[in-house]
Amino acid sequence: MTVKKANSNQDTYKPTTIAWRFYIVLGLICFVYGSIVARAAYLQVLEPEMLQAQGDRRSLRVSSNDTHRGAIVDRNGVELAVSVPVQTVYADPKVVINSDGLSLNRRWQALADVLGQKVDKLKARIGTDPSRRFVYLARQLSPAMADYIKELKIPGIYLRKESKRFYPAGEISAHIVGFTNVDDKGIEGLERLYDERLTGTAGSKQYRKDAKGRKIEILSDKQATNPQDIELSIDQRIQALAYQELKAAIKSYKATSGSVVVLDVHTGEVLAMVNGPSFNPNNRKGVAIHRFRNRAITDVFEPGSTMKPLTVLSALEFGTAEQQTIIDTSPGWMRLGGRRISDPRNYGKLSLAGILRNSSNMGTTKLALSVPKDFLLGKFFEMGFSEDSGTGLVGETSGLLSDRNRWSKHELASLSYGYGLAISPLQLARFYAAIANGGLKKPLTVVKNPQFSEGERVLDSKNTKAVLAMLETVVNDGGGHRAKVPGYRVAGKTGTAIKTAVGGGYGNEYVGIFAGIAPVSDPKIAIVVVINEPAGDLYHGGEVAAPVFSRVMAGSLQYLNIAPDDETQISHLRKKLKKGDNDA
pLDDT recorded at residue 1: 46
| Mean pLDDT of the 421-446 span | 96
Pair type for strands 230-231 and 72-73: parallel
Phi, psi of 508 (to 5 degrees): -115, 15
Residues forming CATH 3.40.710.10 domain(s) in the chain = 236-279+294-573
Residues designated catalytic: 305
Q: How do residues 461-517 score in pLDDT, each as one tens digit? A: 999 999 999 999 999 999 999 999 999 999 999 999 988 755 556 667 899 999 999
3-state secondary structure 175-207: HHHCEECCCCCEEEHHHHHCHHHHHCECEEEEE
**pTM of the complete model:** 0.81
Within 10 Å of residue 234's Cβ, how many Cβ atoms?
30
Q: Which residues pair with 495 in a beta bridge?
A: 513
| Mean pLDDT of the 227-233 span | 93
| Mean pLDDT of the 367-387 span | 94
| Mean pLDDT of the 273-280 span | 96
The whole-chain average pLDDT of the chain stands at 86
Which residue type occupies 579?
Answer: K
For residue 126, the surrounding DSSP H or E stretch is helix 119-127
Residue spans of alpha helices (H) in 253-398 = 295-298, 308-318, 352-358, 361-369, 373-382
Residue 43 confidence (pLDDT) above 50: yes
Which segment of 69-78, 126-135, 140-149 scores lowest on mean pLDDT?
A: 126-135
Q: Which residues pair with 506 in a beta bridge?
A: 500
For residue 573, the surrounding DSSP H or E stretch is helix 567-579
| Mean pLDDT of the 231-254 span | 97
229 near 73, Cβ under 8 Å? Answer: yes
pLDDT recorded at residue 64: 56
Fold of domain 66-199? Penicillin-binding protein 2a (Domain 2) (3.90.1310)
Measured distance CA(416)–CA(401) in Å, rounded? 13
3-state secondary structure 367-430: HHHCCCHHHHHHHHHHCCCCCCCCCCCCCCCCCECCCCCCCCHHHHHHHHCCCCCEECHHHHHH
Beta strands in 460-565 (DSSP E): 491-500, 506-518, 525-532
Which residue type occupies 17?
Answer: T
C-alpha distances in angstroms, 354 versus 197, 320, 351, 412, 517?
51, 17, 5, 21, 19
Cα 175 to chain centroid distance, Å, stands at 6
Residues forming CATH 3.90.1310.10 domain(s) in the chain = 66-199
For residue 569, the surrounding DSSP H or E stretch is helix 567-579
375 near 314, Cβ under 8 Å? Answer: yes
Task: Domain 236-279+294-573: give its CATH code.
Answer: 3.40.710.10
